[in-house]
Amino acid sequence: MAKERTLCIIKPDAVEKKKTGAILAMLEDKGFDLVAVEKLQLSQAVAEGFYAVHKARPFFGELVDFMKRSPVVVVVLEREDAVAEYRKLMGATDPAKAEAGTIRKAHGGSVGENAVHGSDSLENAKGEIAYFFSASKVAPTAG
Ligand code: ADP
Ligand code: MG
């Protein structure tokens, strides 16, 4: 299995609770390399653009308001089978339904404020990484 990259966003709820370090540690413990990490404040336009696929959903406005409430930490993750392995570690969208040992079980508060984002396919991961990081800001694959 070849190495892949995927995008993680540590959402405002988890950053506010000072769980950034705890979440990065869970990722490293599962073998993910953190090839780019940046803390930033999403604007209305950037949050809307990132979640454009959910524009028609009833929670879209609430989701955008939440994501721009306070800073997020965007992280490019790399390991073998990164997209699927990170979705597993992230857990179900609703933290109440997430399995023990997942990031959302440990740090999510509700279906909306669920601590982290993760890309849902390799194709979407490529687009999401490019949305936040120019190539010069992402480390090369190690070894
Ligand atoms: P995931 O983040 O697990 O891929 P989705 O792509 O379906 O889930 O939804 C994107 C984000 O929208 C979720 O992570 C969550 O923050 C928010 N969201 C999803 N469903 C709801 C809901 N029913 N009510 C409020 N917010 C929601
Ligand atoms: Mg999704």
For the chain, the domains span 3-137
Say yes or no to pLDDT of 136 above 90: no
pLDDT band at 142 (very low <50, low <70, confident <90, very high): confident
Which pLDDT value is given to residue 125?
A: 98
Test site for ligand 1: of 93, 107, 114, most ligand atoms within 8 A of the Cβ: 93
Compute, in angstroms, the gap from residue 141 CA to the centroid of ligand 1. 31
- The fold of the 3-137 domain, in CATH, is Alpha-Beta Plaits (3.30.70)
| Cα 93 to ligand 2 centre (Å) | 8
Atom of ligand 1 nearest to the CA of 90: 3
Q: Ligand 2 centroid to 94 CA: how many Å?
A: 12
Name the residue of 64, 110, 111, 120 whose CB sits within 8 Å of the most ligand 1 atoms, as the mutation to test its pocket: 111
Q: How far apart are CA 27 and CA 5, in angstroms?
A: 13
Q: What share of the chain has pLDDT > 70, as a percent?
A: 99
Q: Is residue 17 pLDDT above 80, yes or no? A: yes
First to last CA, the chain: 16
Per-residue pLDDT band at 2 (split at 50, 70, 90): confident
Round to whole Å and give the CA distance between 81 and 85.
6
Residue ID of nearest Cα to ligand 1 atom 17: 112
Report, as residue numbers or ranges, the catalytic residues.
Answer: 117
What mean pLDDT, rounded, does the chain reach?
A: 97
Alpha-carbon span 109 to 95, nearest angstrom: 7
Pair of tokens at residue 47: 């949050």
